[in-house]
Amino acid sequence: MRRFGIAIFLALGCGWSTGLSAQNAPPPVNEIDLKLFDKAEVDRSKGCTFALWQANRDPEADRFAFIFTEQFRGTAHQRDAAQIKVGTTIIPLQRVGAGGKPEGYGVHPFQLYKMPDEQGYVVLDLKLEPEQGEAVEISSGKLMVTMLGKLAFRASVKGSAGCYGAPLPGPAAAAPAPVAAAPQRPAQPAAPNAGGGALTAGTLSPGTAAGGSLSASSQTRPSPGPAPAAPPARPAPGPDMFERYSVRQQQVPARFLQGINQRFGCTVPAQRNGITGFQMSEESAIWQIPCDRFGQNVTSVFALVYLPAPDQQYEILETPSPRGLNRKLDSGVLMSARWDVRNRMVTSLYAASDKQDCGIFERYAVTQEGKLALVEFREKTQCDGMPDRPEQWPLLFGRR
């Protein structure tokens, strides 16, 4: 795959630059004037996004950090045009090639984007960390930009892909179909060994537009023909994806509960309030099964079940712990579990006293595969009689 990357840029007739010129020297006329986005131009508080920032910048603290952004829409994470900024112009990009094993959101280690009218290309060579819940971290990488008649530019980057709220609305029903598989380019371009030069923020134009979508001319439209048959009706009026619902008693085989109770020592009285389900697909759901009661606190076990035969096909969702930390509860058990359905998060509070002034607070994200991924672990060991918010207890493990 790396041979393909070399071939692309030899064909473009470009060599890699070794960074920006000295600060006091005038920039060459044929240098790509790549800029960083102002923080005000990048809003990651809504929907799902993929963003890269300059490796030596902090996107939380620095006004100028982001160099590349891409917005996803709908539950299928359909891509808006990605964006970079050259001078005062925000340039939309269309992904035309990808290679390497992806993590989440269709983010690959190697990605190729083209500018409108093929005036240039952007290549991403990224190191992806294993997906944790709703987040994919890019621990390091290179962003490389080539434009006709200009010196190539590259920068060292870090980044992440994730959802920071409910998905944004997808395209309207009458919109063109998603971009078809582009003319197949080999999967992944190679990255040079040399490090990239630092970027500068430059002068920003007030009110710069956010950049439009690419032309739909390269998109495929359904060919004319007879109207397709109506899709089959849903088996029954059921919950939407990842919607909370009450599981009817007749849907829970006795053998399923027996297996859960034997493994975890759950009690029948604790299960009288019933099982809560969270729909994952047409045929699967996560079931929250009450296990035991301690005063006002109830422990729960979570299982990913195959709805047509839950007693035959189900998987207990384990609760991974950071190395060296003691959860107090068995793996797979959460206490006082509370769900944030919108963000697909579940928290657990193990209170070590009746005043809830000490204990362990955990937060898990539900992955696309229906597993629990730990994103936050807090513990307050001193029961000081001063109850406070568990979310403010000392943080021992956290993942953005």
pTM summary value:
0.43
CA dist 192 and 169 (Å) reads 39
Burial state string for 362-399 with b = 16 or more CB within 10 A and e = fewer than 16? bbbbbbeebbbbbbbbbbbeebeeeeeebeebeeebeb
Q: DSSP alpha helices (H): ranges in the chain? A: 2-11, 254-264
Phi, psi (deg, nearest 5) at residue 125: -120, 100
Q: Could you read off the pLDDT tens digit of each residue along the chain, which spans 400 residues?
A: 444 443 444 344 343 443 333 344 555 568 899 999 998 898 887 778 899 999 999 888 899 999 999 998 877 778 889 999 999 999 999 999 999 988 778 899 999 999 998 889 999 999 988 765 557 889 899 999 999 888 889 899 999 887 765 667 765 433 333 433 333 333 333 333 333 333 433 322 223 333 332 222 223 333 344 443 443 333 343 455 667 888 888 888 888 888 898 899 988 777 877 899 988 888 889 999 999 888 778 899 999 999 888 888 899 999 887 777 888 888 899 999 998 877 788 999 998 888 888 999 999 988 888 889 898 899 998 898 887 888 888 888 877 5
Residue 179 CB neighbour total at 10 angstroms: 16
